[in-house]
Structure 1
Amino acid sequence: MKSFAMTTTEKILFAKGIRPTVMRLKIYKYLKRKTYAVTLKEMHKVFIAKSQKNKTANRTTFYRNLKTFDDKGLIHQINDGTGVAKFAISDDNAKGKYGTDLHMHFHCTNCGETICLPNKISEESLPGDYEVSDVNVVLKGICEKCRGK
């Protein structure tokens, strides 16, 4: 009987309780490569518009997979004040005691990119009888790329 070694991406999905289908692997790898949070419109161009030509995926499957990733904590949605939802890979090291991804984001008002910042938000500043269910801290300004122009 032939056995196969799982890829790192497959192991990550399995660890989150997500069955690694071809589309899920592609979505995860795409988001993992990005250095900034990605809009649904950007992902739509890559996965839905291309797949309509190739007949490999449909809109419902794509959105269902994003929801699964979000529900399982593999990705998180960012509201950066632009009115457009953006998504990025979650960092398990940034999770607080309530399982919430406790980090800040930076939105460049010049180029429009939103990135996850590496520093975690301290839970010690919250009174003991409070329970965090969501965090959305967005700093706004000019990113280093735009400042260098």
Structure 2
Amino acid sequence: MTKTERTLSSKGIRPTQMRSKIYKYLKRKTYADSLNEMQKVFLKKSKSNKTANKTTFYRTMKLFEEKNIVHQIDDGTAVAKYALSDENISDLHMHFHCTVCGKTICLPDRISKQNLPDDYEINDVNLVLKGVCKNCSKK
């Protein structure tokens, strides 16, 4: 069993070929990607099987989100983006959106629950810092 298959299985997901491919793709990405951009990579222009591939793709992404393998990011561009979730740490973290290249990345620092008043519980966080990334600032 491969590392990808073990990771998916540990989350209660049967590691099919499409699921494994999507997971590996997201693992290699250094920034969040929209469903539309991912579709371009995974969905072939085959007319005979286009609907099945599209359905499988969307179901896989929905399953990954439900099982906390990926998280959705609203970076203010009106297009939801997805990034792989950290396996060991909760997804309470900030993101950075480059206003030049349009890429959105997860920042490594986590949001502390210690500053929250007693009896308050965080369910979701959406903090996006906007500016120019290091690659765009060099240009």
How far, CA to CA, are the matches of 2:23 and 2:108 in structure 1?
20
Task: Trace 1:1-149 onto structure 2 (pairs within 5 A).
Answer: 6-48=1-43, 50=44, 52=46, 55=49, 57-95=52-90, 101-149=91-139
Aligned residues: 138
Instruction: State the one-letter code of the partner of 1:121.
Output: I
Contact 1:107 1:138 in 2 (8 A): yes
Counting aligned pairs with the same residue, the percent is 64
Once residues 128 and 51 of structure 1 are traced to their aligned partners in structure 2, the CA distance between those partners, rounded to angstroms, is 53
Any idea what the Cα deviations from partners look like across 1:29-58, whole Å, max 9, x if unmatched?
01111100001111110112x263684852
C-alpha distance 47-20 of structure 1, shift in aligned 2 (>3 A): same
3-state SS of the aligned residue for 1:52? coil
Question: 2 CA distance for matches of 1:55 and 1:43?
Answer: 17
Amino acid at match of 1:61: T
Distance in 1 (alpha carbons) for counterparts of 2:47 and 2:29: 24
Looking at structure 2, the residues matched to 52 and 71 of structure 1 have their Cα atoms a distance apart, in angstroms, of 29
In structure 2, do the counterparts of structure 1 residues 23 and 54 end up closer, same or farther at CA, with 3 Å as the change threshold?
farther
Q: Structure 1: which 5+ runs fail to align? A: 1-5, 96-100
Contact 1:109 1:140 survives alignment (8 Å): yes
Q: Distance in 2 between matches of 1:120 and 1:51?
A: 40
- Residues 14/51 of structure 1: CA separation in 2 closer, same or farther (3 Å cut): farther
Could you tell me the TM-score, scaled by structure 1's length? 0.88
Q: Which amino acid in 2 is paired with 1:91?
A: D
Match of 1:60, as an amino acid? T
